[in-house]
Amino acid sequence: MNKFFVCLLSVLLLVSFSLTAFAQSEFTVAGFDGDDIERDWTTHAFFSRMQEKTGVTLTLKQYRDYAEYQKAIDSMLTSGEMPDAFFKAELTNSDLVKYSASGKLIDLAPYLESCCPNLSALLASHPEWREAITLPGGVIAALPSITDVPRYDMLWLNEKWLKNVGCEMPNTIEEFTEVLRAFRDMDANGNGDPEDELPLCFQGPYELKLLAAAFGIVMNDYNVYLGSDGQVQFGASGDNYRKFVEWCANAYSRGLISRESFYGGATAIERVLSSASTDVLENLSVYGSFLAPSVGIYVSNSESADYSVAAPFEYEGKRVWRDLFGEVTTGAFAITSACKDPETLLKWIDNLYSEDGAVLASVGKEGSEYLLRDDGTWYYDTEPEGSYGFSEPAEISYMYTITGSGAVPFYEPIEFLKRFRMDGYVNAVEEPSKVKPYAISPYPTVYLSAEKLTEIQEIQAELGECVDLSLARFVLGEEKLTDETWAEYESELDALGRQKLVSFWQEALSNR
């Protein structure tokens, strides 16, 4: 009997050794990292550190041009000359439907429990996250990027200016209007010139429409939303939307909105700088408020601490704001049928769904890129005597982390990021947290084939252009807003297929 168990144990050890010996440790991976990021995957610290951590070696193909990358995806997945996986994959929902159906992308669902304990635990505690990444039929073709605090395109206000003009953070669109007037009239930046302030800035009609939330309207890129009655509605029309357009037109006519918001924000700053005297240029602050996902889009690090995010304005007792990206971004990591050992790759990527792995991906390595204080807070090591002597934290993102461009397949380490404290810098997590309680997704995630999307693209292109151009013309005064011109706008929407668009998205819901 004892000999039997000894022999059995020997066999089991041999099998175990064989499985380990033949496990794949080298993989080919392709992905997208934008051309605005100075980062080379082949020499990047993140991947070498992950290799040290896991023993997995990656041969990397990085694409910097999005259009080129999209063509490459189609070419690779149709020709059969595929990488083992796509990282920062940027796979659209249509891609996932098409290539999982053809078998080019494998179904990851059967592997998750055994290979991805970190991700599996997250999905178990948040069934809505699992639902968001699951295709019709139960297939999971790609792993997601997940965050508890999505980044919104938010309204930032200059709190120093608020103090200078004696105003509080506004709670309604009426209070916001008074704040903008004070910014316009009261030399808010305190340089002696009451005409060099820009009360409100944004980049075109797309961002401006976010303020329609102050009138109870939150819509998606197709200008539709799902009503509380389960019916899809077209948001860029009707009485409330007209009130929003009227507010914008009045604000613009009174100098509360910068003209360059429709023509490019750089023009505005150049105009102000060209008229400023040399002695005030260095500390000149010109922005009272702006719509942006990040404060750094408009102001330097030295100014960023002056700005805070405003909570959405109250309308009829409620506050709402558009959740642009949601907690889950689909299509971030996928494995192809060319991969002979998906288990090892999934164990590799599961590291990024733990806090340690996610911190390595988004912040870097303790003692090198960041330092911990005794109270648990942390800061970037940017001092000359530091390990690398970075001049700005942004350099760390490019050189040692993998975030900053595209969706990283990970669970963003929010609790860790909340503990960031550094003089002169805004906490990128705390500010969006002010919006999160009020953020809603106008329309749920649906998975449509490329053919189905093509059906509606032409209608959407014409309708979207009509909505945005009409908004710009009404606001800029190129077309006066009257009952007659508004009726003409509504009629044009109908002629361009408004009802067909609404019906399409209603039907898409019934096919989920």
**CATH 1.10.760.10, applies to 24-148+327-359:** no
Q: Is the per-residue pLDDT at 508 higher than 70?
A: yes
Tokens at residue 419, please? 């503990």
Rounded Cα–Cα distance for residues 143 and 382 (Å):
34
Q: Assign 37 a pLDDT band (cuts: 50, 70, 90).
A: confident
Query: For residue range 402-417, what is the model confidence (pLDDT) as tens digits?
Result: 987 889 999 999 999 9
Rounded Cα–Cα distance for residues 345 and 23 (Å):
10
Question: Which secondary-structure segment (H or E) carries 322?
Answer: strand 321-322
Residue 69: per-residue pLDDT = 95
Query: For residue range 202-245, what is the model confidence (pLDDT) as tens digits?
Result: 999 999 999 999 999 999 999 999 999 999 999 999 999 999 99
Residue 289: per-residue pLDDT = 97
Residue 303: per-residue pLDDT = 83
Residue spans in the chain of domains classed CATH 3.40.190.10: 24-148+327-359, 153-322+414-512
Residue 392: per-residue pLDDT = 56
Strand 328-335 and strand 378-380: the pairing is unpaired
Q: Is the per-residue pLDDT at 30 higher than 60?
A: yes
Query: For residue range 342-352, what is the model confidence (pLDDT) as tens digits?
Result: 999 999 999 99
Q: Is the per-residue pLDDT at 15 higher than 60?
A: no
Q: Within 10 A of 474 (CB to CB), how many other CB atoms are there? A: 21
- Rounded to an integer, the average pLDDT of 376-387 is 68
Tokens at residue 353, please? 């769904």
The reported pTM is 0.81
Q: Residue 456 CA to chain centroid, in angstroms?
A: 24
Most confident of 56-60, 304-308, 368-372: 56-60
Residue 260: per-residue pLDDT = 82
Q: Is the per-residue pLDDT at 267 higher than 80?
A: no
- Rounded to an integer, the average pLDDT of 425-436 is 82
- Rounded to an integer, the average pLDDT of 151-156 is 91
Q: Assign 395 a pLDDT band (cuts: 50, 70, 90).
A: low
Q: Residue 457 CA to chain centroid, in angstroms?
A: 23
Tokens at residue 443, please? 């329309």
Indicate the range of 285-294, 296-305, 370-379, 484-493 predicted with least confidence: 296-305
Indicate the range of 124-128, 252-256, 323-327 predicted with least confidence: 323-327
Tokens at residue 15, please? 């099998």
Q: Are the CB atoms for 442 and 224 separated by under 8 Å?
A: yes
Tokens at residue 380, please? 């970037």
With a pLDDT cut of 90, the percent of the chain lying above it is 69
With a pLDDT cut of 70, the percent of the chain lying above it is 87
Residue 398: per-residue pLDDT = 66
Q: Within 10 A of 160 (CB to CB), how many other CB atoms are there? A: 15
119 or 430: whose pLDDT is higher?
Answer: 119
Indicate the range of 100-114, 261-275, 321-335 predicted with least confidence: 261-275
Strand 321-322 and strand 154-158: the pairing is unpaired
Q: Angle, to 10 degrees, between the axis of helix 342-350 and the axis of helix 117-125?
A: 70
**Which residues lie closer than 8 Å to 447 by C-beta, 6 or more apart?**
93, 94, 96, 97, 135, 136, 512
Q: Is the per-residue pLDDT at 201 higher than 70?
A: yes
Query: For residue range 454-492, what is the model confidence (pLDDT) as tens digits?
Result: 889 999 999 999 999 999 999 999 999 999 999 999 999
Rounded Cα–Cα distance for residues 507 and 512 (Å):
9
Per-residue HEC secondary structure of 479-507 comes to: CCCCHHHHHHHHHHHHHCCHHHHHHHHHH
Query: For residue range 322-380, what is the model confidence (pLDDT) as tens digits?
Result: 998 889 999 999 999 999 999 999 999 999 999 999 999 999 999 988 999 999 999 88
Tokens at residue 503, please? 């019906």
Tokens at residue 108, please? 């990851």
Burial of 301 by CB count in 10 Å (0-12 exposed, 13-18 middle, 19+ buried)? middle
102 or 194: whose pLDDT is higher?
Answer: 102
Q: In what order do the strands lie in the sheet with 307-309?
A: 198-201, 287-292, 154-158, 307-309
| 153-322+414-512 topology per CATH | D-Maltodextrin-Binding Protein; domain 2 (3.40.190)
- Rounded to an integer, the average pLDDT of 149-155 is 87
**DSSP secondary structure code for residue 438 in this structure:** G
**What's the chain's average pLDDT?**
87
Q: What are phi and psi of 132, to 5 degrees?
A: -65, -30
Q: Is the per-residue pLDDT at 20 higher than 80?
A: no
- Rounded to an integer, the average pLDDT of 68-96 is 94
